[in-house]
């Protein structure tokens, strides 16, 4: 089994995490590398899924998980009071990716990129550990001498991150 490299993309809501992850996945794919993602649904409540479908009815009847496959597409839904990040990582490792990209779970200790949209978001740089890169919306006025930083509009940022991850995976 492949031992994937884990990297987090974190920031507050609407800071651009999903857009950045899509760009990084695209860059990794261009390098011939594979990625899976884990997204933390931090907005309260359960994530949306299609009500009324057979798989939803299976869950309503008491199944703890249901899997639907067709034409090579696989959808898994599972019910449990709490999923630890470790359990999610173990599940996604089954797919033998080169990388597991985590959107959210800010306070975990994995290497991470932080998105700073507003001045108030700068507190993340002091609160979080293992920050490897910062993506910012407005020019940062604080000193980031030891951390790589890119404007969210700079297309070289996702490229840099993909190459950084590629180098890290072979360390």
Q: Exposed, middle or buried: residue 69 (CB in 10 Å: 0-12, 13-18, 19+)?
A: exposed
Per-residue pLDDT tens digits for 65-74: 888 888 988 8
Mean pLDDT of the chain: 88
Count of CB atoms within 10 A of residue 78's CB?
A: 13
Q: Quick one: pLDDT at residue 139?
A: 79
The distance in angstroms from the start CA to the end CA of the chain is: 18
Per-residue pLDDT tens digits for 71-129: 988 888 888 888 899 999 999 999 999 999 999 899 999 999 999 999 899 999 999 99
Q: How confident is the model at residue 1 (pLDDT cuts 50, 70, 90)?
A: very low
Per-residue pLDDT tens digits for 119-146: 899 999 999 999 999 999 987 766 677 8
Q: Quick one: pLDDT at residue 141?
A: 65
What is the Cα–Cα distance from 97 to 51, expressed in whole angstroms? 30
Q: Quick one: pLDDT at residue 146?
A: 81
What is the Cα–Cα distance from 5 to 89, expressed in whole angstroms? 11
Q: CA geometry: angle at 79 spanning 77 and 83, to 5°?
A: 100
Q: Are 28 and 41 in contact (CB under 8 A)?
A: no
The predicted model scores a pTM of 0.88
What is the Cα–Cα distance from 162 to 145, expressed in whole angstroms? 21
Per-residue pLDDT tens digits for 43-52: 555 655 666 6
Per-residue pLDDT tens digits for 142-161: 667 788 999 999 999 999 99
Q: Quick one: pLDDT at residue 142?
A: 62
Task: Estimate to the nearest angstrom the gap between the alpha carbon of 137 and the chain centroid.
Answer: 19
Structural domains present in the chain:
5-41+82-169 (3.40.50.300)
What is the Cα–Cα distance from 86 to 28, expressed in whole angstroms? 23
3-state secondary structure (DSSP) of residue 122: helix
């Amino acid at each position: 089994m492949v031992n994937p490299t884990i990297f987090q993309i974190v920031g507050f809501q609407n800071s651009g995490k999903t857009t950045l992850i899509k760009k990084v996945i695209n860059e990794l794919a261009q390098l011939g590398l594979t990625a899976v993602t884990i997204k933390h649904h931090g907005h309260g409540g359960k994530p949306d899924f299609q009500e009324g479908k057979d798989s939803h009815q299976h869950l309503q009847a008491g199944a703890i998980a249901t899997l639907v496959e067709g034409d090579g597409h696989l959808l898994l839904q599972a019910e449990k009071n709490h999923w630890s990040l470790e359990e999610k990582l173990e599940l996604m490792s089954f797919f033998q990716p080169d990388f597991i990209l985590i959107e959210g779970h800010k306070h975990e200790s994995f290497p991470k990129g932080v998105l700073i949209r507003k001045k108030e978001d700068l507190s993340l740089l002091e609160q979080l550990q293992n920050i490897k890169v910062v993506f910012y919306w407005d020019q940062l006025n604080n000193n980031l001498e030891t951390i790589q930083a890119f404007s969210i509009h700079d297309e070289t940022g996702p490229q840099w991150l993909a190459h950084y991850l590629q180098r890290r995976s072979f360390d």
